[in-house]
Amino acid sequence: MTTVFPDDPTPLARAAEEHVSLARKVESIVQLPRPAQTRVFVVANQKGGVGKTTTTVNLAAAMAIKGLRILVIDLDPQGNTSTALDIVHTEGTPGVYEALVEGESIGTLVQQCPAHESIQVLPASIDLAGAEIELVSLVARETRLDKALQSYLHEAEQKGERYDYVFIDCPPSLGLLTVNALVAGREVLIPIQCEYYALEGLGQLLRNIELVKAHLNPKLNVTTILLTMYDGRTNLSSGVAAEVRQHFGGTVLTTAIPRSVRISEAPSYQQSVVTYDPSSSGALSYIEAAREIAERASGQKREAQR
């Protein structure tokens, strides 16, 4: 590999070199492989502000620009995912509440993302805030999203419009909304912020996932951990990253998402960083993370076929 700064390994030079190398890698991705069947990811961590929404939005956008068909479910009453994808979600807008509580079909509730033809979004409005309590008294309260989603995915497949990936963005809690997501999903993606206290509460999340797996959804697995807001200049970030990799091994994606102002600015323009600033390190990292996720699936398939 050519070295941009051969004799000058200062942190800035190293960062520039890494950026160039990442840009080359990402440029070479023309189309991501389609999975054999729809992969349903639950993006969960009950800790607030760790990058669940940012990850959902940017992985969806990265996969869409690389040729995949995506459904995004905003399961957080804050509706940040809907905002970032430029989806109408003012109070009273039909969305995930109607699917969960009123049993409406998801097909009548999804909206097309204006920036990406191949992303459909099931939005969340503030009405969803009441669902956590309303669900308690409903029949099959934990499995309502699963039922609605399976029926919609089947319907889409029948029409020749099969989704490649579904991303469910969870709220920062372990209540019934998150449980519904864990029952509806097959894979859990946990974003971990490279900050102090990052691992606190993780044990509780993993125990909840095990409970759901034991009683409600045996097919559920934590397949992916993504390090977010990584700042290679600080010992704290690299220390947290090393600890997470030691604990969780190969589940952790090689790509870590850097702390980047462009990533945090993008939602205020109702955009993902992938469209807002495609050559930024944030955009490149999310595309590279998407490639890892997509290629892991084809790797697993090859393993299974042996």
Q: Interface residues with ligand ATP (CB under 6 A)?
A: 48-54, 76, 80, 172, 228-229, 257, 259-260, 263-264, 267, 282
E-state strands within 207-250: 221-228
- Maximum C-alpha span of the chain: 67
Nearest distance from C-beta of residue 228 to ligand ATP, angstroms: 5
Please report the beta strands in 21-156, taking only residues with DSSP state E, as ranges in sequence order: 39-43, 70-74, 111-112, 119-122
The minimum distance between CB 169 and ligand ATP, in angstroms, equals 7
Q: Angle at CA 193, nearest 5°, toward 44 and 70?
A: 45
Q: How far apart are CA 188 and CA 191, in angstroms?
A: 10
Q: Does 53 bind Mg ion (CB under 5 A)?
A: yes
Q: What is the DSSP string of 137-183?
A: GSTTTTSHHHHHHHHHHHHHHHTT---SEEEEEPPSS-SHHHHHHHH
| 39, 52, 66, 116: which one binds Mg ion (CB under 5 A) | 52
Stretch that binds Mg ion, among 74-82, 174-182, 273-281, 297-305 (CB under 5 A): 74-82
Q: Nearest-CB residue to Mg ion?
A: 53
Cα dihedral angle (129, 134, 139, 143), rounded to 10 degrees? 10
Q: Which does 291 bind (CB under 5 to 8 A by kind): ligand ATP, Mg ion, none?
A: none
Does 178 interact with Mg ion (rule: CB under 5 A)?
Answer: no
Q: How many CB atoms lie within 10 A of CB 9?
A: 11
Structure-token pair, residue 65: 């620009």
Q: With binding defined as CB under 5 A, does residue 116 bind Mg ion?
A: no
By C-beta, is 35 or 51 nearer to ligand ATP? 51
Partner that binds at residue 77, options Mg ion, ligand ATP, none, CB closer than 5 to 8 Å by kind:
none
Q: Which does 83 bind (CB under 5 to 8 A by kind): Mg ion, ligand ATP, none?
A: none
Q: Which does 118 bind (CB under 5 to 8 A by kind): ligand ATP, Mg ion, none?
A: none
**In the complex, minimum distance from the CB of residue 188 to ligand ATP, in angstroms, rounded to a whole number:** 14
Query: Within a 10 A sphere around the Cβ of 10, how many other Cβ atoms?
Result: 9
Binding site for Mg ion (CB under 5 A): 52-53, 80
